[in-house]
A and B are shown apart, each in its own frame.
Chain A
Amino acid sequence: LQEKEELIEEWQPEPLVPPVPKDHPALNYNIVSGPPTHIITVNGRECINFASFNFLGLLDNEKVKSAAQASLKKYGVGTCGPRGFYGTFDVHLELEERLAKFMRTEEAIIYSYGFATIASAIPAYSKRGDIVFVDEAACFAIQKGLQASRSNIKLFKHNDMADLERLLKEQETEDQKNPRKARVTRRFIVVEGLYMNTGDVCPLPELIKLKYKYKVRIFLEESLSFGVLGEHGRGITEHFGINIDDIDLISANMENSLASIGGFCCGRSFIIDHQRLSGQGYCFSASLPPLLAAAAIEALNIMEDNPDIFQTLRAKCERIHKALQGISGLKVVGESFSPALHLQLEESCGSRENDVKLLKRVVDYCMNSGIALTQARYLEKEEKCLPPPSIRVVITVEQTEQELDKAASLLKEAAQSVLN
């Protein structure tokens, strides 16, 4: 007993958190005074916004704001409860119906937080013992969803269908050794429509072929491609002309094109209805404030009434993609029609820390001259496949051609002065 007392006396725990150095790059946030719209005031200086994911410019739209105001007058701000306990408002039901109709699926379900959408959807279906094939460049929310599901994760090289097929074939041979287990093991492929970390699209037609060949279900994460790709903004399935029923689950967040908060999943009722009882972020969390749901409905209305904004956005993306080619020292990573690009260093200076410092100088140069940019932020120790440091460039419909050209030339100048 004496020994136990001594052990308890002697034990010293680590401090709860290690100290963070004052000049850590992620500690000092940019402070935005006022709304983060097209003209943004960052750290006291007015700049043109090339950093917020406001692709369709709906953050500042008067109709969206007045719809939200009307909802605020009717419902107040919060919902004071989860969906199951008097937290379901008619606005939520309307938004779900509208999203399902827009995406031409049977049903849709809304979450109150974009990150929680895919992070709750994956563990609702995939459990311990199931197999998930996921792209290496999948975003952090998908990684957390996979971790929560406790399934076997198999990573395949980014957009490499041959690698994926190899993994699927390996799994097939495994199955033949143990057919009883194979009959109850579910398989999923999780991909993103437009990847946040690399700016390119997944080869969806080939994936559909692999789906039927190896009997795997597909979960598609469309946060960046919803409201961007496709003739009417329906995402990558419209872009490639694929029947939406071939995709088992589409998940997207409403925080990019729809300029609201939250996320949704859509698909057939057989699949979506299950989340109403087993989606953790849906059952155990308060529902979306009605004013944000009303803002999303109005944003959907605008998207449906003005299908030409998608063409305009695409043209602007192509323009800046071309203008940014040939900057010495920086290379453009991303498709020409992707509104979220990355600018990475052509040659690394040796350590990630130094690369980050160098890119910070480029960003600061641009900020001082009136273009607001940001570096893409990651949790370096937590990511499975950490992307190299980069500057994020976001294109919105509100940027004029002069502004796009100005941004491109400023980046050229910055790269010249900092990197040479």
Chain B
Amino acid sequence: LVWIGESDIPNKCDRLLVKGGRIVNDDQSFYADIYMEDGVIKQIGDNLIVPGGIKTVEANGKMVIPGGIDIHTHFQMPYRGTTTVDDFSQGSKAALAGGTTMIVDHVIPEPGNSLIEAFEQWRSWADEKTCCDYSLHVDITHWNDSVKQEVDTLLKEKGVNSFQVYMAYKDFYQMSNSELYEIFTFLGEMGGIVQVHAENGEIIAEEQARMLEMGITGPEGHVLSRPEELEAEAVFRAITIASQTNCPLYVTRVMSKSAADIISQARKKGNVVFGEPITASLGTDGTHYWSKNWAKAASFVTSPPLSPDPTTPDYLNTLLASGDLNVTGSAHCTFSVAQKAIGKDDFTQIPEGVNGVEERMSLIWDKAVTTGKMDENMFVAVTSTNAAKILNLYPRKGRVSVGSDADLVIWDSDAVRTITAKTHNSAAEFNVFEGMELRGAPSVVICQGKLVLEDGNLHAIPGVGRFIPCTPFPDFAYKRIKARKQLAVLRAVPRGMYDGPVSDFSPMSRGGTPSASARTSPTKQPVRNLHHSAFSLAGNPAQRGELQQPFDLPICLPIPYRRSQINNSSTGIVYV
């Protein structure tokens, strides 16, 4: 197997043997030794024949799992002239300390700026500082033909296969429904994944104005102006558009029960949609927005907000365990108190984001595995494997197997630690999980075949992280999309020309609307092929006529099916 990637070959002498571990993949667990060389897993099995004198790590029967993939981070994010306090170095260190060996950051171009320039900017920041492998999502913050060109380039040449659009942040990042339709259509054809920040920005703007008018200026205004119904509404709308355009959908930051419910309902109806709860929504709730301590309350500000319903984390963990939600990120985006204080007199000005990259793996283990909601295989799926599949990096990432990258974690399921800002690896002063006691932690972390965490010591080296390009058409999402595309051919009904009288009418447009936006969107394929479905559509009057016989059926048929289509007898005028 030959993998693409820029600085592909790590130090030649990196050889490592992990002995006596229980390998946990998303499908099975088994005991075996693992030998890795040059950052790649070379052998798995018992009694391996390996070169002499290599470093050996004794797993002592502990679990060896694929390193976590944090599919959503915002390191070193510029914000109104300042930058989030965790840069790519600090952020990826925190990630490694928590057992995450790959992060996927979001590139956020200022509206109007070039996507590719922003992408290159993020690449240069990350290449210089990241301590683990990384990939990039690109956010589409405005839309026109040149953006479309750039998206095409990013997909085909730059190794980006996922793009986020915003349904919130009115007048700034927010996309209209028709723009969403065009973006979804385009990405559905090019093999990309559409990610969506789902909140109804129009209503939020109205609610924010109302809160401020009422004199509510503190962080509680943030959650009051963004009730979870608005999140659920936007998720519903995004799913409708995705289903219409036959495009796979990925909902970032699932924060509330209602939003999660909409996703699980849509999955039951067959939509290709993935939901990403984040560390914060799985671990804490929105009651803290009412804290009397402004700085503490502000540290929880993120969008969509944490739900004030304290049973939400448990609910989301359950859906994650049942497979209704599929991947987890952290949406790690940390601001100092002084930065948050930009909004001290107006909650709408508080910079948004919470920590979570370091806590993600332990928190999910504690909330979902120790409680018996999921087993360790499912744990691997939601923290690593599913993300790798969506990003089209599987099995290079997300699996312990020969040929895969040597990103591994030896997991200690008994370790207990208490989360606190005093000891965490983030530069933020507050930790939204402050004081939580979590069971389960990495005891050894191996990244690119090198030991980076051992005996509680972190040996992370900024700049060694490689950019891992993602290719379009991930099988995980697109096998189904492709099959649907083949079914979705529409055909017109062949009819003779209508040659009867035609009324005069004023051309002033009404009712039927002309095309939505000036920009053309190439063809899209719908999901439902009505021509192939079970009920007959190409009206066959003869057959329907026969249905008229059972008129005098007794009323014993409670369901009045018998008559539903008997309305074909001709009227006076028939134009053929």
| A and B are partners in one complex rather than unrelated chains | no
